[in-house]
Every structure is written in structure tokens, then in C-alpha cells.
Amino acid sequence: MNGGMNGGMNAPPPSPCINICRMQEASGLCEGCLRTIDEIASWSTFDDAAKRAVWDAIETRHAEWLDKRFESRDESQARTQGEKQ
């Protein structure tokens, strides 16, 4: 189900924290774990289903971040190639 979670559905979801704790003002997400401040603050009170939902959101955010990163890289390469012609 979740690439970031270890164990089966019966194991409690681990914390996504990787000890890179910097909130990005533009996105409102932690640079390390891609959680919102509310998700971070509430993690210890979430039941397993809520924690899995946060993991699902993290996976979506990570995929979106990768798409944007590669989109920007591709646009930059296209501009560079256009300048060489």
C-alpha cells in the first residue's frame, strides 16, 4: 500500500519524520517529511487510519513535487537548447 510504511496493515504506521524539520513558508509543508504543521502536531493523537491517510497525502505531495521538479528541469533544458540554435 504505502512505500513509506514498513510492515503490514496491522503494524502501527511509523512517523514520517526524518529529522529534517524546516517548515517551508510557500508550501506550508515540512521540508523533511512533507507534512503540514497540523499533521505534525496531531500525529501522536491520530489513530492508525488517520496516520495512513497522512502517509497517503505525503506520497501524493512527493509525486507532485517530483513532477514539478522535472517539469522545471525540462523547461530549462529546452531554453538552453533554443539558445544554442
Model pLDDT, residue 80: 67
Does the structure show a pLDDT above 60 at 3? Answer: no
Query: Whole-angstrom Cα distance, residue 2 to residue 55?
Result: 7
pLDDT 10s digits, 25-55: 999 999 999 999 999 999 999 999 999 999 9
pTM (whole model) above 0.85: no
